[in-house]
Amino acid sequence: MIVWKEASFFDDAEKAALGWAEAITLIAKDGAPQPLFDELMKHYSDAEIADLTLIISQMNAWNRLAIGFGHGPDPLPEVG
């Protein structure tokens, strides 16, 4: 289950951006599907789509660097 798809508090523009972020993050799986790009174009300008894609790519790069050098999230404290 993908929670953002089920949540009622994201509007159509936000869901388009989240879908694009997921596709770019998992690009080896399905590429960047044209229907997702078409949905983005309904809500965002070319410049906004370029900015969004660059931000997604940069975050993915930082995550890969952190994971590659062994810097993951801190473990959750034990309860009880």
Tokens, residue 26: 């998992």
Per-residue model confidence (pLDDT) at position 6:
86
Q: Is CATH 3.30.1370.100 the classification given to domain 3-67?
A: no
Per-residue model confidence (pLDDT) at position 62:
93
Low pLDDT (below 50) residues in the chain: none
Per-residue model confidence (pLDDT) at position 36:
95
Using left for φ > 0, alpha for ψ between -120 and 50, and beta otherwise, residue 24 falls in: alpha
Per-residue model confidence (pLDDT) at position 65:
93
Per-residue model confidence (pLDDT) at position 27:
92
Per-residue model confidence (pLDDT) at position 53:
97
Interatomic CA distance for residues 4 and 17, integer angstroms: 11
Per-residue model confidence (pLDDT) at position 1:
63
Q: What is the pTM of this model?
A: 0.82
